[in-house]
Amino acid sequence: MRIDVVTIFPDYLAALDLSLVGKARTAGILDLRVHDLRDWTTDRHRTVDDTPFGGGAGMVMRPDVWGRAIDDVAGLSAGTPDAAGAVHLVVPTPSGETFTQRTAEALATEEHLVVACGRYEGIDARVAEHYRSAGMRVSELSIGDYVLNGGEVAALVMVEAVGRLLPGVVGNPESLVEESHGAAGLLEYPVYTKPPAWDDLEVPDVLLSGHHARIHRWRRDQALRRTAVRRPDMVRALDVDTLDRHDLEV
Ligand code: ADE
């Protein structure tokens, strides 16, 4: 997969050289390119923003600068006829739809993502409209109900969530199945490692029993309880047909 991130703060994205995403890049699974939006400005001051029409506080990012940047990284400047259809444009914004594990799964099937990180009061609304009309998939996405100073941290979150789903990135793909927000629709059960006793706290006996069926049942009960307490919204969204007889005893 190729991901182009366009930002006025390329250094923010330096963390993507680290850890699993960094390894995916070196392994050639993820072709991640970070660009400075100011490379597409045309004035001496490298201006990317201006005052909002209609008045109000703050500055808005100019559509002409964004248009040149996105055309370039999406390969539209080269005049390839169906280039727009090959790209999914992601715009992190607090006014977007919520980015979830399902969104990450859907984006992980794309060949080419372009992530446009806005700052200030956001990007001129015509940018998303223009690329939608050109046949590009465009997703304006929020990582949660709070406001950050710009899209960069949200882009980090999204690239990591999508990148770890690419085949070959997470060493043991089974760890993607049981994790929180995975296929079971539950939060993950609590986990323990050595030592078996630490500071008068002991690992639950069942986990030391070697009895796989009992361990499986205990973990599922813990996941159900934890989800009920912390995320009742997720319990309501469970498909009852995926529950077994014992689940209903919890
Ligand atoms: N930019 C600023 N706040 C954001 C948020 N919550 N999600 C995505 N992008 C943002």
Give the residue, out of 12, 140, 153, with the most ligand 1 atoms within 8 A of its beta carbon, to mutate for a pocket test.
153
Ligand 1 atom at shortest distance from the alpha carbon of 149: 2
pLDDT recorded at residue 118: 97
Ligand 1 lined by 148 (C-beta under 6 Å): yes
Q: Which of 74, 73, 96 is nearest to 83 (CA)?
A: 74
Predicted confidence band of residue 20 (pLDDT cuts 50, 70, 90): confident
Whole-angstrom distance, CA of residue 39 vs CA of residue 15: 22
CA 206 to chain centre: 35
Give the residue, out of 7, 121, 140, 148, with the most ligand 1 atoms within 8 A of its beta carbon, to mutate for a pocket test.
148
Residue 249 has pLDDT above 90, yes or no: no
DSSP code of residue 8: S
Ligand 1 atom at shortest distance from the alpha carbon of 93: 9
Task: Tell me the pLDDT of the chain averaged across its residues.
Answer: 94
Nearest residue (by CA) to ligand 1, atom 10, is 93
152-192 confidence digits (pLDDT tens)? 999 999 999 999 999 998 888 887 777 889 888 999 999 99
Tokens found for residue 189? 């059960």
Contact 250, 221 (CB under 8 A): yes
pLDDT recorded at residue 176: 79
pTM (2 d.p.): 0.95
Contact 92, 139 (CB under 8 A): no
Whole-angstrom distance, CA of residue 90 vs CA of residue 54: 26
pLDDT recorded at residue 157: 98
52 preceded by a cis bond (ω within 30 of 0): no
Percent of the chain with pLDDT over 70: 100
Nearest residue (by CA) to ligand 1, atom 2, is 148
Cβ atoms < 10 Å from Cβ of 198: 11
88-110 confidence digits (pLDDT tens)? 999 999 999 999 999 999 999 99
pLDDT recorded at residue 171: 81
Residue 234 has pLDDT above 80, yes or no: yes
Kindly tell me the burial class for residue 219, based on how many C-beta atoms sit within 10 Å of its own C-beta (0-12, 13-18, 19 or more): middle
107-154 confidence digits (pLDDT tens)? 999 999 999 999 879 999 999 999 999 999 999 999 999 999 999 999
pLDDT recorded at residue 245: 84
Residue 250 has pLDDT above 80, yes or no: no
* Buried b or exposed e, range 113-151, using 16+ CB within 10 angstroms: bbbbbbbbebbbeebbebbeebebbbbbbbbeeeebebb
Which ipTM value was assigned to this complex?
A: 0.98
Cβ atoms < 10 Å from Cβ of 99: 21
